[in-house]
Amino acid sequence: MTPHNEADKGAYADTVLLPGDPQRAEWMAQTFLEAPRCINRRRYALGFTGLFRGKPISIQATGIGVSSFLIYAHELLDYYGARTLIRTGTCGSLTAKAKLRSLVISQSAQAESAQSGQVFGLYKAVAGPDPALLSCALAKAAELGIDHCAGLTVCSDIFYHPEGRGRFADAQAAGALAVDMETSALYRIAEHFGARALSICTVVDNIETGELTDYSERQDLFTDMSRLALAVAVEGG
């Protein structure tokens, strides 16, 4: 176990899906995994391991933002030996291409994260996913008929920023599709440990229009994201 995780070594599968919300982690495990067992309850950052199409898969909640995310990702990679991390998160749309309730697959992530920048030197830099996972995700999304787009995303430390949506003007000019609070850290820490990573997010609000989904409907919105992430986990090499 670690200071933040009560699971024993060997409790996590090689491939771990990473939702931020512990309720989503529990829903994903109970909905999609065969014989899921809860392996971590510490700080209510719920973690589960079960089977999907006969392959061991784990799901671990990470909380919100780079600071919380990096704790769980680091421990999964360094202590528990995970080799593939797939983020199953939420994001805010920066363009009409990323429609509310659709998926955004991050082909590259620009960091606006001073916190992860201090560790990885990635502030304002661009990081990317594992090519095989990305290729598999794009192919499976098309095959499954899942509404999605793929491209540049932005990772921010601050949800309620005093500059409001204006702070994303440069990112939008560069063609960024969406903003979240974890993806660049995911890609950089995976690179640091020689692991594989991919970020798939569901659009739950639109930064430009102010449209947003209600939290009460969000678990139902995550079916496509979960199906895609699990397919990639099994078929992504």
Tell me the catalytic residues: 205
Joined tokens for residue 82: 């995970």
Sort strands 148-156 and 103-112 into parallel, antiparallel or unpaired. parallel
Beta strands in the chain (DSSP E): 15-18, 34-40, 47-52, 55-60, 84-93, 103-112, 126-127, 148-156, 178-180, 196-206
- Residue 43 is encoded by which pair of tokens? 């700080």
Burial (0-12, 13-18, 19+ Cβ within 10 Å), 237: exposed
H helix or E strand, kind and range, residue 216: helix 215-221
